[in-house]
Each structure stands twice: as structure tokens, then as C-alpha cells.
Structure 1
Amino acid sequence: MKLDLKIQPLDSWIKKTAEPLLIAGPCSAETEEQLVATAHLLAKTGKVSALRAGIWKPRTRPGEFEGIGSIGLQWLKRAKEETGLPTAVEVATAKHVEEALASGVDILWVGARSTVNPFTVQEIADALQGADVPVMVKNPVNPDLSLWIGALERINRAGITKLAAIHRGFSSFEKSAFRNEPMWDLAINLKTHAPELPIINDPSHITGNRDLISYVAQKALDMDMQGLMIESHIDPSVAWTDAAQQVTPAALSELMSHLTLRKPEIKSADFNDKLSQLRNQIDKIDDLVIQKLAERMQIVQKIGEYKKDNNITILQVNRWDEILQKRTAYGKALKLDSSFTEKLLELIHSESIRRQTEIMNKDAAVAENLTHA
């Protein structure tokens, strides 16, 4: 289902200094000297389109540095006057919105901790009524596409048409190399729902580690995201917040120089003909896969009925283990990733269990309906 968002193109509200679009700056504005000096170095690279800085910082626990506060808006104003870079800050309350707009901040963004709460998002949306300012919405902390979409819709309904999403990854209990799991499929799903919505990737918060930023940034560009937001500090080693994920302006410039910007399509008859042929092959195979899955589920139905007639439990652990081991080994021999094969099998198995459960409980459901008739 396509979202009914009224959106202006990204290049109508932010001028690209270079390709790809880059919004950069320190995680937190710490001192006026630190912010302004960083801004000058970023502007000097010729690669940054807007300066970002945290003014109000939502922290997990009290007692941590929670941002310099409103005075930082004046530092941003000075940085903008001296470098010409538009400025961007995170807002989490109506008061933040009012102060940021009054100080001439060019771009606002809604943070992940705010996106997760519809009450907070609505408060921000109400404060934005009548404003002509670009707003970017980060994905919620938890992997919930509906919350992300809902936040975008609330901001859009407040009259904000200069709108973009920021993909910054999602919290997960599973330990991995990333601070926040990218869960690329959710970002792709959002793009499917709203093809015209610009999505900007935040590799700093996804990785939590400056050494992985280039890897995630390149993958984001390969997936046709419209830009990057990367944290940069004049001296990350002494940063007051998120030191490990910030890079110096010089390192940022070097990183950007090594990224490859690919085109979403090539306007060439030969290329498009070849692509069309390959896609037609995929379509035919997909049709066969769906057909075979449907045939498999018909057999699953028969097995469920047989189990019911003979009073056999739905789950046969030994049989499931056998399927998992044999099919994973077969997939590996065919050059399929084992993790992919396991996930696919688990999804098919879950649907098989669901169908057989329906068969087992059919008589009980009919009896209950007759009782309430």
C-alpha cells in the first residue's frame, strides 16, 4: 500500500555541495570553539551540505551529558554565518521546535527515542503547524515500521512537505558488530510504501564504530538511499558523547572520496533490454517457487488431517531436525547462504504448523460457534 504523503523533492530544500548528499557535524555541541572550528574544517572539505549538532541530548541514564542547551543554538548561528553551511538539530519537544525556529535553524530532525512515542511526535507536529522548514524523521529505536510511518504521516499532516526519513538502525538483544542492527529490509519496506520519500542513512549510529562507517555508508548508497548523516568532531578522542563513532573532518573527507556512487538506472536500450530479460527470468522462477510452495502446503493440509485422525501431535521434532539439516546442506552445496536457507525453512515450517493447528482445532471452533449461535 502506497502512502499518501505530500512531499517536495530533496533537492528543492537542500543544496548538494557534492555527491552524495552529506550532513555532518559533532554528536554534541560542547563548546562554541569546538563547534565553530569543526564547522570550518567540514566546510573546507567541499563535501558537506549541512552542519548537524546535538543541542539537546536524550540520554539513557541521568547524570550523563544531556546537551549544552539553548545557548548552543547561538553557536550554530555563528557557525552558519562564518561557513555558509545550513544547520540541523534534533528536536524532542514543542519548546525545542520553537527555539530552533526562532534561532534560524534550517533543518530539524525527530530522534529515534521520540519517533517511538506518538504523543511526542504529535506535540512536535503541532508546534510545526505553519512552519516552512525541512524535517527528517529517524526510525524508532525498536523495529516497528508502523511507528516510523505514523511519525512521518503526523509531521506531513502538520503541513511539512520538505520531509525525509533517516535510517539509523534498530536496537536488538542479539550481539553483533553493530551498535544498532541495520535491518535493511525495514528501510526497503518504507521505500516501497513511499517511493518519493528521501531516505538518508546514519552509519554513525548503526555502527557505533568509526571503522565500520564506510562499509555501511557504501551499502546504503548501493541501496539507493539519497544521502548520509555522519558524526564528525575536531578531536573525537575527547568528545563528550559517542566518541567511538565520530571521525575527524579530514577522515570524513577521505572516507567520502572512496565511496562509489552508483546510478539507479542507465538510460541505454541495450542495458535495459538485458535487464528486462534477466528480470523476466526471475519472474518465471518466482512464479514456480510460489506454485511449488502452494503445492507443498496442500500436502501439509493432508498430513494435518492424517495426524488429527490418528491423534498424532503436530510437532515432530526429529522430522524437523532432519529437514533443517538436509535442506541446509543441500542449499550450501548450491551456493546458498546457510543463514538464508535456515530462515526460509523456518518461515515455511511456521506456516505449516499454523495450518495444521487450524485443522486440529477445526471441530472445537465449530462447536464453540454452535454454542454461541
Structure 2
Amino acid sequence: MKLNLNIQPLNTWINTGKQPLLIAGPCSAETEDQLVATAHLLAKTGKVTALRAGIWKPRTRPGEFEGIGSIGLKWLDRAKQETGLPTAIEVATGKHVEEALKAGVDILWVGARSTVNPFTVQEIADALKGVDIPVMVKNPVNPDLSLWIGALERINGAGITKLAAIHRGFSSFEKSAFRNEPMWDMAIALKTQVPDLPIINDPSHICGNRDLLPYVAQKALDLDMQGLMIESHIDPSVAWTDAKQQVTPSALAELIDRLTLRKADVGSKELSSKLDELRNQIDKIDDSIFQKMAERMKVVEKIGTYKKDNGVTILQVNRWDEILQKRTAYARALNLHTDFAEKLLELMHAESIRKQTEIMSAGQAEGQAQEKLTHA
């Protein structure tokens, strides 16, 4: 289902002339010299759209550096006056919003820890009523699309039409190369529901280290995200927060130069015709897949009925292990990724369990009804 949010196009509220759109700056404003010097180097690259800096830093545990506070707003304004770069900061309370607006900050964003709490988002939204300023909303820490959309709706409901989302990845118990799992499907689902919503990717928080930044940034652009937010520090080795994921302004410029920009529109009629032909092939294959799925579920129903009639449990662990081993091996032979094959099998297995449970439950209900008639 598509949502109708009142959103202005990105190019009406931020200079999208530079490609890709790039919001960059230090994770934290540490000192006035550090912030201003970094801003000058970023502006010198000619690639940065806006300057970001952490002023208030919500940290996981007390005792960690929680941002320089309000004094950093003055440093940010100086950097803006000297470089001409618009400024962007995170706000987490209504008071933050008031101070940022008073200091002339150009763009605000709602952080992941705030997005997860509707009370916090509503407080920020209330402080924004009657204000015309761009606001970006990061995805919540946990993978919950409804929370993300809800936060966007609350901000939009306050009258903010210069609205964008920031995809910064999600917390996961599974260990991987990423600090936060990208879960690209969540960003795609958001774009599907709100097609006009600009989405900015935050490779810094997804990666947690600078080595993976080019890979994530390129993938984000390939998925037609409208820009990037990347942390940059004049000397990342001495950064007070998130040192490993920050890059120098010169390294950032090199990273951006190596990215490949692709068009969202097909362009020529010849290319469009070829894509239509290939997509028609996919549509036919998809139709046959669903037909086979329906046939498979008919057999599952027969199995469920047999198990019900013969008092056999729904789950047969040995059979499931056999399916996993054989089908994933077959998938590899067909050059299909093992993870994809496993996820597909798990989905089919879950639906099979659901159908058989439904048959078992119906059988129990029939048995109970018959027993009542017998004793009546």
C-alpha cells in the first residue's frame, strides 16, 4: 500500500547539482579548530553538498563523550559563514530543535535511537510545528518498517514537507562484516510505500570501518538512493568518537571520484524496448513459479490430512534437514546463492507448517464438536 505524504522534491530544498548529493563532516564537533578546519577541507573538494557534525551525541552508556553541546552550534555557524556550506545536525529533543533553529542550522535529522521511540519523535514534531526546515529521519535501530514510517508521518504531520529518510542499517545479533546490517530490503520497502520520499544512505554507520565504505556507497547509488551521508574528520586517528569509520576529506574526495553514477531512467526507446522484453520473460517465469507453488501447497494439504488421520506430528526434523541439504546443494549446482536458497526454503517450509497446522486445528475442532454431540 502506497502512502500519500506531502513531500517536496529534494532539488527544491537542497543543491543537488553535485553528484552524488553528499552530506559530510565529523562524527562529533570536538573543538572549534577541528570543526572549522575540516569544513574548509571538505568545501575545497567541491564535492560536498552540506556539512554535518554531531553536537549532541546519544551514547549507549553513561561516561562516554556525549557531544560538546550548544557551544558547538556557534562553531558550526562559523564554519558555515566561512565555507558557504549549509549545516546539518541531529536533534533528539524539543529543546535541541529550538536551539538549532535559533542558531540558523539548515537541516535537521532524527537519529536512530530517537526514531525507535514515538514519544520522542512526537516531541520533536511538536517543536517543528510552523517551521519550514528540511528534516531527515534515520531508520530505527531495530528493523521495524512501521516505526520508520510512523516517525516520517509524525514529522510530516507537523507540517514539514522538506522530508527525507536516512538508511543507516539495523542492529542484528548475527555477526558480520558490518557494524549495522544494511538490510537493503527495508529501504526498498520504504521506497515502495513512499515513492516520492528521498532516501539518503549512511555508509559510515552501516560499515563501522572505512574499508567497506566504497562498497556500501556504490550499492546505495545502484539502488537509486538520492545521496550519501559520510563522516569525515581532519585526522580520524585522534577522533573522539567512531574513529574507525571516519575518513579524511581528501580520502572522501577519492572515494566519491571512484563511484559509478547510473541513470534511474532507461532513456532511449531501444533500451526501453529491450528491458520490456526481458521483463516480460521474468513475468512469465514468475507466473509459472507461483503455479508450481500452488501445486506444491496442494500436496502439502494432502500430507497434512494424512498426518492428522494417522496421529503423526507436523514437524519432521529429519525430513527438513534432508530438504535443506539436498535443495541447497542443487541450488549451488544451478549457480544460485546458498543464502537465497535457504531463505526461500524456510519461507516455503513455514507456509507448509502453517497449512498443516490449520488442517490439524480444523480436525481437533471437528473432533470436539463430534464428542459434544455424542455426550448430548
Counterparts in 2 of 1:192-211, with a 5 A limit? Answer: 192-211=192-211
Deviating more after overlay: 91-100 vs 356-365: 356-365
Aligned to 2:276: 276
Question: 2 CA distance for matches of 1:168 and 1:198?
Answer: 14
Aligned to 2:133: 133
Give the deviation of 1:369 after TM superposition: 8.7
Residue deviations 1:6-64, cap 9 Å, x none? 00000100003510000000000000000000000000000000000000000000001
Aligned to 2:93: 93
Deviating more after overlay: 221-230 vs 307-316: 307-316
> Residues 369 and 239 (structure 1 numbering): CA distance in 2 closer, same or farther, change over 3 Å?
farther
For 2:191, the aligned partner's letter is K
Question: 1 CA distance for matches of 2:17 and 2:329?
Answer: 50
- Pair 1:170-2:170 in alignment: yes
Aligned to 2:301: 301
Give the deviation of 1:365 after TM superposition: 3.9
Question: 1 CA distance for matches of 2:323 and 2:95?
Answer: 58
- Pair 1:357-2:357 in alignment: yes
Question: 2 CA distance for matches of 1:328 and 1:235?
Answer: 47
Give the deviation of 1:169 after TM superposition: 0.1
Tell me, yes or no, if the aligned pair for 2:77 and 2:103 is still in contact at 8 Å: yes
Aligned to 2:111: 111
Aligned to 1:240: 240
Tell me, yes or no, if the aligned pair for 2:233 and 2:247 is still in contact at 8 Å: yes
Unmatched 5+ residue regions in structure 2?
Answer: 372-376
Tell me, yes or no, if the aligned pair for 1:9 and 1:162 is still in contact at 8 Å: yes
Aligned to 1:326: 326
Give the deviation of 1:120 after TM superposition: 0.2
Counterparts in 2 of 1:7-26, with a 5 A limit? Answer: 7-26=7-26
Counterparts in 2 of 1:287-298, with a 5 A limit? Answer: 287-298=287-298
Give the deviation of 1:370 after TM superposition: 10
Q: Secondary structure at the match of 2:267?
A: coil
Aligned to 1:312: 312
Question: 2 CA distance for matches of 1:223 and 1:181?
Answer: 16
For 1:274, the aligned partner's letter is K
For 1:153, the aligned partner's letter is E
For 1:183, the aligned partner's letter is M
Counterparts in 2 of 1:215-254, with a 5 A limit? Answer: 215-254=215-254
Give the deviation of 1:266 after TM superposition: 2.3
Tell me, yes or no, if the aligned pair for 2:308 and 2:363 is still in contact at 8 Å: no
For 1:7, the aligned partner's letter is I
Aligned to 1:30: 30
Give the deviation of 1:330 after TM superposition: 1.1
For 1:20, the aligned partner's letter is P
Question: 2 CA distance for matches of 1:334 and 1:84?
Answer: 55
Question: 2 CA distance for matches of 1:369 and 1:134?
Answer: 62
Q: TM-score, normalised by structure 2?
A: 0.97
> Residues 106 and 299 (structure 1 numbering): CA distance in 2 closer, same or farther, change over 3 Å?
same
Deviating more after overlay: 14-23 vs 186-195: 14-23
For 1:212, the aligned partner's letter is L
For 1:306, the aligned partner's letter is Y
Tell me, yes or no, if the aligned pair for 1:17 and 1:48 is still in contact at 8 Å: no
Q: Secondary structure at the match of 2:108?
A: strand
Compute the RMSD of aligned alpha carbons. 1.4
Residue deviations 1:141-165, cap 9 Å, x none? 0000000000000000000000000
Tell me, yes or no, if the aligned pair for 1:89 and 1:109 is still in contact at 8 Å: yes
Question: 1 CA distance for matches of 2:246 and 2:339?
Answer: 32
Aligned to 1:345: 345
Aligned to 2:43: 43
For 2:207, the aligned partner's letter is T
Residue deviations 1:282-320, cap 9 Å, x none? 000001101110110011001100111011111112211
Corresponding pairs, count: 372
Residue deviations 1:210-238, cap 9 Å, x none? 01101100000000000000000000000
Q: Secondary structure at the match of 1:14?
A: coil
Aligned to 1:150: 150
Aligned to 1:56: 56
For 2:248, the aligned partner's letter is T
Q: Which runs of 4+ in 1 moved over 2 A?
A: 363-371
Tell me, yes or no, if the aligned pair for 1:17 and 1:46 is still in contact at 8 Å: no
Aligned to 1:79: 79
Question: 1 CA distance for matches of 2:3 and 2:346?
Answer: 31
Question: 2 CA distance for matches of 1:138 and 1:179?
Answer: 16
Question: 1 CA distance for matches of 2:324 and 2:143?
Answer: 27
For 1:138, the aligned partner's letter is K
Aligned to 2:374: none
Question: 2 CA distance for matches of 1:212 and 1:189?
Answer: 24
